[in-house]
Every structure is written in structure tokens, then in C-alpha cells.
């Protein structure tokens, strides 16, 4: 019983899936640890939804081994279904029923007893700010409200692993932030979240680990910081008051790229605090006056664009 | 720890899905009434427009409109059953295009309960429609001579036929790619009572049509109901009705189940 705590929530080995001639997933390997948020990031058509459909037992794979919540996907799909919750890209709510009826439906299908079901429904309506709309048909709900209800329905059964397929696609910025907050709270409660998104800021904001999916392959995986370090482009930019200072600095700092007209130097490499402090110390040592200093950290956009082969030129410019 | 709660609750799941369908029906009460509208219009049309002439052609008895009302009601009841089934196909098709069914599929529930809910919901709808149609029929001069037991038996037969055709229409609703096709596929069923003994006796038809009319399932269906309500001869119709219903129900069920478990 205790060792289940240390088991990964999801393991995927050599997963393949094709639809006809179209190879959608081409040998995926990944591990998601319990109580973390894992983001599968990729452009449209990368295979994200297929991945979620397979992991959530909706469709079968062609090859590969998958375990979710400690159960083998091929042997015990029902045990997995009992442990997971899925909120898809397209709202999985019954639009004819009211919000409250939708939640009661989930309570019944999770086989909660009457008392517990009622308590759970009331609690979720409260938590997702749906008390006022509870008795209205879902058809009348806004997009954000439908999405909240959708997630609330997923939570009725207290799943240990939650799949969120593009949970904020189509939401306005405010609803989006609200959704992020809810996701963070879930994980704080010990739940594992497997998230797909095409938004880099969303992955950056939420996920402990990110895998980049492109054309059915994982092209990079790691923490947001690790991924950012994968590509060059981190640098410190220094501007000087005159050519003299620029010359001295260029000599002291060695291999740097300089721009004589703008009187700037670009020092590549790690833009962490330690590196910055060392750099400033050296400039101080040589009494070089710096007019302006800026730090450029590559964001996930850079990583994404570089690794998915859709590099844009302006990016290369600053890197060089 | 995690595998303890793996008991399954097929009955509870089925009941939950029936509850869901009843809620849908409650919201769409108009639909139930609308579905009964076409059979009722046909009843009025056939009794008041064609009834006088057709009744004379029935042969035997008094003839005329009064005789025709009694003759045509079993056919109209079958129309009600099939009209209700069109509604089933549409509501199943609508459900399949919504994400909610994908959600059901990722839950540890008895999968087929989703479909069973539709079937039971449709049966309830069909019974309501049949009661409505019989009410109107009685108003326009339908005079059955059935005993309470015969009434009950006739209703039993109607429910049995409904049940069978509903499973077929659940499958049709799933095989349809859009709502329009879902409402079109069951349409031929509505015409089958015409191509049987529903509106005129089959022996008045040309021989090629008669062969079809006498061997299609709706003729024994209607003859059984006619026999129970009006005391005409049933003969082998009862057993044929049971056999046809069982075959259609089983075929529809297996087909629907296969389609439901098919991959996205």
C-alpha cells in the first residue's frame, strides 16, 4: 500500500497509434509522477488529443505499454476508469440538464450513496461558483461556466489522475486564469494532472514537466527551465556610453558579439543571478561604466519554434 | 487499496441513465406530443376522408366509415410505434455527437446502460403516445370488443414490438453521420404498415405486392393486435410477431452494442 505512493501516476513506453496510413503517435515514452502537473505541448494535429484518448481508455493503441494509476491499460481498463477523470476539449456536459442535474448524474454514476452524493454536488457547485446557475439548463451557460461545470463533473468521483485536454482553449483571459487557479489547487490536493495545451504560457505557468509533441514524436522533455536551456539565446546585453568603454569591455569579456554603432555587447550564456553577479564584478574590477543592461531569457516560444522546426528569422538574429 | 472499489452496478447505472432520459423527456414534452401528431393526422385522414369508401371495400359486416375505424386503428398504432422510433434515432444520434458520451465511456460504468437508458426512455414515450392515439381513436368511433386481459395483452404486444424496433433505431441513430440522416434512416419503417395489412386487406393487392405484404413483420404485428382488440382471427400471427420481435431486438441490440464500442 505504501509503495503505491512512489509509483508513477502514468508510464508510457513505446506507444504507437495510426489511423489508416496516418501515423499519429510514433513511439512515445514518458513518465508522470504523482501529484505533479505534466503538460503535453504541441501544435494542432501533433497527436495530443489522440494521446489523451488512449490514456483515458477511449481508444486503443497499436503498440506499447501504458500504466495509469498503477493499472495496466490493456488488462484493467475498468480499474483505470475508476481512478481517472477526463475533461476534454469539447465540453462533456449534458446541455439539456441543469448544472445541478449534471453533477447528480455524475454522483450516481460514481455510485456515491445519496447523502455523500448530495454533499459532493453542493460542495462542487459552491467551489466552482455555479450555485446561482445550478437550476438552469446548461444550454444557457457561458463558455467559461460550461468549462467549470465540465471540470466539476470530472471531480465528483475524486479521481487521482485527471486528464485535461486543452482546458482553456476558447476561454477569455479571466476565465483562463480562474481555470489555472483551480488546476493548481487540485494538484495541491495530491491529484496528478496530465494536461495538453498549445499555449506555451499555460505550460510554463502550470507544469512541473513539459513534453513537446510534434508529428507524433516527443522532441523534447524536461522542466520549463531545462527546456529553455536547450536552446541558445539566453544572453546579457550591455550598452556603453562611448567606444572606449565598449573596447575595454570587449577585451575583458572576451568572445562576445559587439555592435559598434549601437555601442552594445552581447554576452551569451546563462543569465542566472550568479553569472550576472560575476559579470558585474568583472566590469567593476576594470572600472567600466555600463549605461544600460538587459537580460534576455529565452522563453518557451523560442524553444517551441526552434524544436518544431518553425524557427523564425528574427529569433536567429538575436541569437547570433 | 485502489482495487477495492471495483464492484460494478449495472442495474444502478441503467436506472441512472433512465433517469437522465426521463429528464430529457420532461424538458422536451412537446416532442412526445409532436411524435403522436402524425399518426393522429393519418387516423383522421383515413377515417374521415378515405374511410367511407375504404370501409365499403372491406367486405362483410356493415361496411362504411364505422367499420373502417376499427380496421385501421392497429395500423395507426404501428405508425405511432415507428414514429416514436424516429425520435429515438435522432436523440441517440444527438447524444453521440456530444462529448458527454465520451465522458461516459471513460467512466467505470456498465457501458450498455447508456443505450438501455435510451431504449427504456423511448418505450415510456411510445406508451404515452399510444395512449394518446387510442384516446383519439375512441373519440372518432373506434369500438374494440376486447376484455381487460385482451387490452393488456395488446399493450404487451405493442411494447414488445416497440422494444424490438427501438433497439434497431438505436443502432440506426449511431450509424448515421448526422442528425438528418438519423431522422431519415427509420423513415421506411413508417411506411411498412401501408405495405401490409394496416390500411387495406392484403388480398386486395396485386400478387407481387401481396407476397411482400404477407411476409413482412408488420402484417403479423397488426393482425395480432387486431385479433386481440377486435376478435378477428390471429392464427400464426402471434407466434410470428414474437419471433420477428426477438430477431429484430437481438439484431438491433448486437449491432448497437458493436457500434457503441467502436473506436472514435
- The answer to whether domain A235-297 has CATH 3.40.50 is no
How many contacts, defined by CB atoms under 8 Å, are there between A and B?
79
d(CA A288, CA A17): 59
Q: How far apart are CA B72 and CA B60, in angstroms?
A: 16
Question: Which uninterrupted H or E stretch holds B217?
Answer: none
Which DSSP symbol is given to B228?
H
Minimal Cα distance from B109: which residue of A?
A109
Taking the domains of chain A in order of start, what are their residue ranges?
10-228, 235-297
- Count CB atoms within 10 A of the CB of residue B91: 25
Instruction: Tell which A residues from 147 to 166 touch B, by Cβ distance under 8 Å.
Output: 153-154, 157, 160
> Which residue matches cell numbers 494536461?
A195
How are beta strands A217-222 and A209-214 bridged, if at all? antiparallel
CATH topology of domain A10-228: Rossmann fold (3.40.50)
Q: Which residues are paired to A40 by β-bridges?
A: A196, A211
Could you tell me the CA-to-CA distances from B6 to A67, A74, A76, A77, B3 in Å, in that order?
17, 16, 10, 11, 6
Q: Are B82 and B186 in contact (CB under 8 A)?
A: yes
Tally Cβ neighbours within 10 Å of residue A278: 11
CB atoms within 10 A of CB B136: 17
State the virtual CA torsion across B162, B164, B165, B166 in degrees, nearest 10.
80
Q: pLDDT truncated to tens, each residue of chain A (320 aa)?
A: 445 556 899 999 999 999 988 999 999 999 999 999 999 998 888 899 999 999 999 899 999 999 999 999 999 999 999 999 998 777 789 999 999 999 999 999 999 999 999 999 999 999 999 999 999 999 999 888 998 999 999 999 999 999 999 888 888 888 888 889 999 998 998 899 999 988 888 888 899 999 999 889 998 899 988 887 776 666 788 888 888 888 888 888 875 678 888 888 877 766 567 778 888 888 888 888 888 888 776 666 667 766 766 544 333 333 33
- pLDDT tens-digit profile of B23-43? 998 888 787 788 889 899 999
The three cell numbers locating residue A269: 550564456
| B24 vs A contacts (CB less than 8 Å) | 96-97
CB atoms within 10 A of CB B3: 11
CA B141 to chain centre: 24
- Chain A residue with CA closest to B91: the answer is A96
DSSP string of B32-95, one letter each residue: HHHHHHHHHHHHHIIIIIIHHHHHHHT-SSS-HHHHHHHHHHHHHHHHHHHHHHHHHHHHHHHH
Q: How far is CA B188 from the centre of its chain?
A: 13
Measured CA to CA, the distance from residue B209 to residue B205 in angstroms comes to 6
Q: Residue B250 has which C-alpha cell? A: 437481438
Task: Give the residue from chain B lying closest to A61, CA to CA.
Answer: B263
Is A249 an interface residue toward B (CB < 8 Å)?
no
Q: Do A105 and B20 touch (CB under 8 A)?
A: yes
End-to-end CA distance of chain A: 54
- The alpha-carbon gap from B124 to the nearest alpha carbon of chain A, in Å, equals 19
Task: Answer whether B12 sits within 8 Å of A108, measured CB to CB.
Answer: yes
Chain B residues in contact with A154 by the CB 8 A cut-off are 103
Interchain proximity A108–B104, CB inside 8 Å = no
Amino acid at each position: 500500500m505504501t509503495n503505491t505512493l512512489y509509483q508513477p501516476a502514468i508510464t508510457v513506453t513505446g506507444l504507437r497509434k495510426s489511423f489508416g496510413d496516418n501515423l499519429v503517435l510514433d513511439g512515445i515514452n514518458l513518465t508522470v509522477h504523482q501529484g505533479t502537473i505534466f503538460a503535453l505541448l504541441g501544435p494542432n494535429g501533433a497527436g495530443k488529443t489522440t494521446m489523451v484518448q488512449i490514456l483515458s481508455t477511449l481508444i486503443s493503441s497499436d503498440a506499447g505499454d501504458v500504466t495509469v494509476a498503477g493499472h495496466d491499460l490493456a488488462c484493467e481498463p475498468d480499474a483505470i476508469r475508476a481512478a481517472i477523470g477526463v475533461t476534454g476539449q469539447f465540453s462533456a456536459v449534458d446541455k439539456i440538464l441543469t448544472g445541478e442535474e449534471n453533477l447528480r448524474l455524475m454522483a450516481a454514476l460514481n455510485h456515491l450513496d445519496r447523502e455523500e452524493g448530495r454533499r459532493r454536488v453542493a460542495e462542487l457547485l459552491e467551489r466552482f461558483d455555479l450555485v446561482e446557475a445550478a437550476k438552469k439548463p446548461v444550454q444557457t451557460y457561458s463558455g467559461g461556466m460550461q468549462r467549470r461545470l465540465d471540470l466539476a463533473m470530472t471531480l465528483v468521483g475524486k479521481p487521482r489522475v485527471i486528464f485535461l485536454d486543452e482546458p482553456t482553449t476558447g476561454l477569455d483571459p479571466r476565465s483562463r486564469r480562474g481555470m489555472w487557479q483551480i488546476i493548481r489547487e487540485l494538484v495541491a490536493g495530491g491529484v496528478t494532472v496530465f494536461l495538453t495545451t498549445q499555449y506555451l504560457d499555460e505550460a510554463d505557468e502550470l507544469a512541473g514537466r513539459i513534453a513537446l509533441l510534434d508529428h507524433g514524436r516527443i522532441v523534447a522533455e524536461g522542466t520549463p527551465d531545462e527546456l529553455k536551456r536547450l536552446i541558445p539565446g539566453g544572453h546579457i546585453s550591455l550598452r556603453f556610453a562611448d567606444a572606449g568603454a565598449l573596447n575595454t569591455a570587449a577585451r575583458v569579456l572576451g568572445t562576445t558579439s559587439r555592435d559598434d554603432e549601437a555601442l552594445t555587447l552581447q554576452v551569451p550564456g546563462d543569465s542566472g543571478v550568479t553569472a550576472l553577479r560575476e559579470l558585474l564584478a568583472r566590469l567593476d574590477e576594470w572600472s567600466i561604466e555600463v549605461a544600460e543592461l538587459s537580460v534576455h531569457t529565452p522563453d518557451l516560444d523560442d524553444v517551441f519554434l526552434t524544436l518544431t522546426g518553425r524557427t523564425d528569422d528574427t529569433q536567429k538574429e538575436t541569437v547570433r | 487499496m485502489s482495487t477495492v472499489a471495483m464492484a460494478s452496478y449495472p442495474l444502478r447505472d441503467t436506472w441512472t441513465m433512465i433517469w437522465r432520459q426521463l429528464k430529457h423527456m420532461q424538458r422536451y414534452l412537446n416532442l412526445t406530443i409532436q411524435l403522436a401528431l402524425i399518426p393522429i393526422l393519418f387516423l383522421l385522414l383515413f377515417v374521415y376522408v378515405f374511410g367511407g369508401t375504404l370501409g365499403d371495400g372491406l367486405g362483410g359486416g356493415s361496411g362504411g366509415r364505422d367499420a373502417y375505424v376499427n380496421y385501421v386503428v392497429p395500423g395507426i398504432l404501428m405508425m405511432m410505434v415507428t414514429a416514436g422510433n424516429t425520435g429515438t434515432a435522432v436523440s441517440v444520434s444527438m447524444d453521440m455527437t456530444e462529448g458527454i458520451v465520451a465522458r461516459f465511456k471513460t467512466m467505470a460504468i456498465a457501458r450498455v446502460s447508456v443505450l438501455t437508458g435510451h431504449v427504456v426512455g423511448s418505450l415510456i414515450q411510445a406508451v404515452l403516445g399510444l395512449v394518446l392515439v387510442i384516446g383519439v381513436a375512441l373519440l372518432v368511433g373506434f369500438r374494440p370488443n376486447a376484455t381487460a386481459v385482451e387490452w393488456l395483452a395488446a399493450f404487451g404486444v405493442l411494447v414488445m414490438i416497440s422494444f424490438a424496433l427501438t433497439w434497431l433505431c438505436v443502432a440506426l441513430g449511431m450509424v448515421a453521420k448526422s442528425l438528418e440522416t438519423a431522422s431519415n434512416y427509420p423513415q421506411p419503417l413508417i411506411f411498412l404498415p401501408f405495405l401490409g395489412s394496416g390500411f387495406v386487406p392484403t388480398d386486395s393487392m396485386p400478387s407481387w405486392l401481396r407476397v411482400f405484404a404477407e411476409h413482412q413483420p408488420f402484417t403479423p404485428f397488426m393482425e395480432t393486435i387486431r385479433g386481440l382488440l377486435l376478435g378477428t382471427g390471429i392464427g400464426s400471427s402471434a407466434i410470428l410477431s414474437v419471433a420477428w420481435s426477438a430477431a429484430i431486438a437481438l439484431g438491433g441490440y448486437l449491432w448497437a452494442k458493436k457500434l457503441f464500442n467502436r473506436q472514435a
